[in-house]
């Protein structure tokens, strides 16, 4: 089993608003710098220009349950499954991203990944609060 870390951010907007913004692939470059500098549709796939090179992103969302899971196929063909949830938190939302320390990933790389996810979630918070404010 992989070591796991949950990274979360409180957002002062209801889950419906957070889900609407976060599940839109075209909004990824605005908040997910760790994943997408740009994104385009290619057939049935979303292709993101990322710090790792071009990656394929496949979304598995369930709006009712607050699920924003997505698989990222890396340039070398490795598929990384990312679990992400939007949970009701009083009148706002708690966004939780589960990060796994994959085989071959050092503790320093895992910490850097967690810091990048935390920065992305802060950007998502700022975007949601600005757009819906």
CA pair distance 46, 77, nearest whole angstrom: 15
CA pair distance 9, 116, nearest whole angstrom: 13
pLDDT at 33: 82
Three-state SS sequence of 119-130:
HHHHHHHHHHHH
The token duo for 50 is 């990322």
pLDDT at 38: 84
pTM of the model as a whole:
0.89
CA pair distance 64, 27, nearest whole angstrom: 20
pLDDT in tens, 47-105: 988 778 899 999 889 989 999 999 999 999 999 999 999 999 999 999 999 999 988 99
pLDDT at 132: 60
pLDDT in tens, 4-21: 999 999 999 999 999 999
């Amino acid at each position: 089993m992989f070591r796991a870390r949950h990274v979360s951010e409180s957002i002062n907007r209801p889950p419906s608003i957070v889900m609407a913004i976060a599940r839109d692939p075209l909004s990824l470059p605005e908040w997910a710098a760790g994943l997408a500098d740009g994104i385009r549709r290619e057939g049935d796939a979303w292709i993101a220009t990322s710090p790792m090179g071009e990656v394929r992103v496949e979304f598995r969302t369930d709006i009712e349950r607050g699920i924003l899971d997505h698989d990222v196929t890396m340039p070398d063909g490795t598929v990384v499954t990312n679990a992400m949830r939007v949970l009701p938190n009083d009148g706002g939302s708690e966004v939780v991203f589960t990060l796994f320390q994959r085989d071959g990933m050092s503790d320093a790389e895992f910490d850097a990944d967690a810091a990048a996810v935390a920065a992305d979630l802060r950007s998502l918070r700022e975007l949601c609060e600005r757009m819906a404010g």
